Homo-oligomer: A and B are copies of this chain.
């Protein structure tokens, strides 16, 4: 039986989950994988956390050098998060001839080129399944199963926090602030929720997933990013009436004209497989030229689902002797030959408050038409009896372009004195 020693850097939620899985399943892996995986070292400043997990004091390393020089450590698991000191530690481990398994999306997104070069140079493995969508087997599927396809598009619900908040707003009709508070109470959102609600987390993951899918580096900086803090329950309700569900989507498209990569709230038809991905569940909907549509669904975060991905990588690393790296030139920035499309096409939902007077709708539709936007659906309602003198006007467009919509909105705000554009949400068909 092959002996495999691992070290865990960081005993936070994911590190603790990984430690627990490895220790409770040790015999199971001996029986089913012919591997004896032992945790030889941990690195954690809070000694009491290590003790709480039942880790022998002798295994708590004082610094990364101690782990790098421990001959019993074959694989270093980095689950600290953030760029530093994680980056320094990972580079040291690779330099010492240890393979690395990481769950660190920000680190891998920003420095995959540097880390992969170091791994290659030292003939060791670098695995990062856990960096994207927790327990959902998406990276391995792209690398080792769908790799015969030209991937034309991927659309994902890849942030659990925002999906929980939007599900809560949809089902209970509460505001963003109320749903966020509940998410924080349940531990689904951080005290400072920016990384999740402003779409950073989803954009890191989209950068990694679209780079692998499209075989070219898609840097974080090239991703159009909008969060969910401005979403109003009114729009979710109108969407429902029109047959749509609101989600924070990460969208990557590879077209002959260029690459589109964007993270933003979007309406999706309620019978689309992604529409029923609720609460903190995640899913990635991948389209390949041969396989057609594939969806991978599961828990995108949490100690055990993310731990499952890490342990999967550890076993993979221990049972595969040849390490593979990105199948494209992994650079810091996109290659100059990569074209990005910012004026992308979409269907749009536009909600306005309009004075309920003759000719107002005609004026608005004339502007849309002048901007080349044709209208697919309209809901115009009477001003309510409560004295609200403005009436909602909701328009769903046919497929149009981002620039045309921006132009139309400016024109409406300038030329229609009694109409205000309240919200614009893209619709994904």
A residues within 8 Å of B by Cβ?
Answer: 17, 21, 25, 28-29, 31-34, 129, 135-137, 140-141, 144-150, 215, 271, 273, 276, 283, 288, 290-299, 302, 304-305, 307-309, 311-312, 314-316, 319-322, 324, 327-328
A319 near B324 with CB under 8 A, answer: yes
Q: A31-B215, A146-B312 are in contact. Are A273 and B297 (CB under 8 A)?
A: yes
B294 near A295 with CB under 8 A, answer: no
**A307: B residues at CB distance < 8 A:** 148, 290
Other-chain contact of A305, B215, B290, B297, B299 (Cβ < 8 Å): B290
**Chain A contact residues: helix, strand, loop or mixed:** mixed
11 contacts between A and B (CB under 8 A): A17-B290, A129-B145, A135-B294, A140-B140, A140-B141, A144-B316, A147-B315, A291-B299, A294-B296, A294-B297, A294-B298
Identical chains bound together, number: 2
**A291: B residues at CB distance < 8 A:** 135, 298-299, 304-305, 308-309
B148 near A308 with CB under 8 A, answer: yes
B288 near A293 with CB under 8 A, answer: no
Query: What is the bound-complex CA distance between A312 and B148, given in angstroms?
Result: 5
**A136: B residues at CB distance < 8 A:** 294
Nearest 10 A-B pairs (CB), nearest first?
A148-B311, A135-B291, A137-B145, A294-B298, A291-B308, A290-B308, A295-B297, A137-B141, A290-B304, A145-B312
Q: How far is the CB of A330 from chain B (nearest CB, A)?
A: 13
B290 near A21 with CB under 8 A, answer: yes
A299 near B304 with CB under 8 A, answer: no
B144 near A328 with CB under 8 A, answer: no
**A309: B residues at CB distance < 8 A:** 145, 291
Q: How far is the CB of A63 from chain B (nearest CB, A)?
A: 28
Other-chain contact of A292, B25, B135, B140 (Cβ < 8 Å): B135
Q: How far is the CB of A251 from chain B (nearest CB, A)?
A: 18
Q: How far is the CB of A39 from chain B (nearest CB, A)?
A: 14
Query: What is the bound-complex CA distance between A327 and B33, given in angstroms?
Result: 6
Q: A291-B305, A298-B295 are in contact. Are A140 and B148 (CB under 8 A)?
A: no
Other-chain contact of A327, B32, B149, B311 (Cβ < 8 Å): B32
**A328: B residues at CB distance < 8 A:** 32
B276 near A290 with CB under 8 A, answer: no
**A150: B residues at CB distance < 8 A:** 25, 28
A136's nearest neighbour on chain B, judged by CB, is B294
B308 near A298 with CB under 8 A, answer: no
A292 near B312 with CB under 8 A, answer: no
A328's nearest neighbour on chain B, judged by CB, is B32
Q: A25-B148, A290-B305 are in contact. Are A327 and B34 (CB under 8 A)?
A: yes
B308 near A146 with CB under 8 A, answer: yes
Q: How far is the CB of A268 from chain B (nearest CB, A)?
A: 13
Query: What is the bound-complex CA distance between A273 and B288, given in angstroms?
Result: 22
Q: A290-B21, A294-B136, A311-B290 are in contact. Are A322 and B324 (CB under 8 A)?
A: no
Query: What is the bound-complex CA distance between A322 and B31, given in angstroms?
Result: 20
